[in-house]
Structure 1
Amino acid sequence: MDVSPVLLLLDSANVSVSVWPPGSNIYLDESVLLRCTVESDSSFVWSYQWLRHRLHPAQTPNPRHLVSGDSYSITAVTREDAGSYQCQAELREVNISSLVILSRQVVLRVSDRPPPLLTLTPSSRQIFRGECFSVQCPSSLSQMNSSGWTLRRFPPRSGLFFTDQCSPLGGTVSTERPDTCAFTAVRENGGLYWCEGEEGRSNAVSISVSYGFIILRSPSSPVLLGDSVDLFCQYWTGNNGTTSFYKNGAEITTSTSSSGYREIKMRIEKMTQEDEGLYKCVSGDGRMESPESWLSVRPDQGSWMWITASCGLLLLLLVPLSVWLVHRYRYQAFCTRSCWPVSTEEPGDVGLPATKQDVTEVQWDLSWMEMSNLLDKQLYPGT
């Protein structure tokens, strides 16, 4: 009796989800990649579906998320991205009933703690083939340089995990900066880059090596509110006309200027939260279009820290002053005449002025009874 291939698959197939960079804690604004893997002895082709949270279909909730077959990528993490993720692998073959296998849920937690920052030069996620770029790990907390860090990379195309210093990654150590790895942009050097050390890991940045004719150079790290930002549309060869910039699919009317034979620059003044989004550039004839790149806008943490510290210092000064004012008010409001020295002389002992005075010249600091007696004596002598 022949055994159905489906039964064999049920015994041997296993579906799992891996997270890159590894770990359940992810950082704000970094790039994250989830990979679905089917371990099976068969050579059948699988189709994939991604589920988020309570098994609701992942319909790409916003443009930062991209679902492509066995990969689920997040361009710039926000707090909304926390939750559970799950992969569903399905097999459909002729003369074989469909087979669906679910992976275990992977829970991602978004950390509010700012990570050590990895530095890209030039600061752009899109790089032309053949160009040079460098990756610098953060400075170690316990050392003056970055020798305590290890650079790691995960290229989605090959699915292999590269580690150690520059040489296994296809780069070279910079002679001037031993903590910097220099690379020549080829297809194999694309993917996620991050650093790991005793303090944990840095943020992860996704680098895309373009073999096209146009790219968009935008900051690889978040832009601060109120700052001015320059976006560059760069051509592989010289541009032949006007260039248009787009944000979230809509053309931007901001003026542009040429900053070189191959580059067109667009400046955004005083960035606001509304300026956050997906940007791209398109040639004047519409034949060439760059990949989209996400631009994050964040508050200036230093300014908020300064404001918080100033408010704390002001409170330290106001609290003692308020206590003193309350004490002073209560002292003046409830203090009786016994608090002040009183003369022991009787009213009759008060002497009259030596010279005769007019009634209107009587001293007004006398009591009412004293003043009344004085008036009676002057109006009715002999009484």
Structure 2
Amino acid sequence: MQSVPLALEHFRRGGIVLVFDRAGQPHLALSAELAGLAPVALMKSFGSNAFSLALTAAELFQLASNVHLPKCEAVSAREGGLWEYEGLSEAAVDLARLSGLKRQVLLRALEPQDVIAFAERHRLPTVTTGALMLYRQRNEAAVDFVASADLPTPHAAQPFRAHSFRSSIGDVEHLALVSPGEAVGDPLVRIHSECLTGDSFGSLRCDCGPQLDESLRRLGASPGGILVYMRGHEGRGIGLANKIRAYALQDKGLDTVEANRALGLPEDARDFGQAAQILRALGHNRVRLLTNNPEKATGLERHGIVVSRVEPLVIPPNPFNAHYLDTKATKFGHMLPKRSAT
């Protein structure tokens, strides 16, 4: 039976928790500092693949001293845990942090079997990464409101209302622009990931700049429309310098996915939990979403925002980004028209 408080109590007493990752795969999780002989033996008997030790970079040089720990490979988790990314290692360190323990967690995949029967037989509480994420949403604030002011733009006859927010993770600052008036029904919303090269410099390698302009035009014409501008999402979350490194590989013939993989970077490292918190801070739990990317809708819904409708935001390709847009359609599932073969 899934219960986050039950799992936390069991974990802080040195017990194993069965954690289901985003793909639904079960993993055994145990506090490294409290790992005893019996639970480690259970993980050895019923686990598959190698042991790993999930920890944050801050914990790397303060490893738990425990004679019962088996040989394992360290796996880095993001400092903000599930606020930053819905990954297994992030869920594991959140388990430890919420339990008041060192963020060092022994992990091992569970061998194929009747998982529910296994959990009941060994009296192991179960949680999913999604349940842990929702627990944090209900009990913590990842963003803090800072200030509001009018922001006149060429995109609307009246100023947008700009609301600034500061993240508690990495001190990143986000901005929400709200168009004048009250939305009739669910507001039209655009979650726009920061893109310095496209938004500020007009780069033709992507469609980000034109998407931002078109979003503001459509939101300005929609009373109560909201643009949430997410800082820290540069290059789908890999950062500006890494994006330029990826561009260099794309210049040699790789597509955007292949370039990220060649650099050992994730294809898409973004998470929309803080965007969801900003929308809730503005008073909205349901939205109409302006996007071509179905993962944005899924990402918001994982964080408790109902997406009642998805509206496309298609920008005509240019000679520099046509291949990039094709890759977004074929490898990321973006809802974009396919080009005719030439």
TM over 0.5: no
TM-score, normalised by the number of residues in structure 1:
0.21
TM-score, normalised by the number of residues in structure 2:
0.23
Richer in strand (by share) = 1
Richer in helix (by share) = 2
Greater Rg by CA: 1
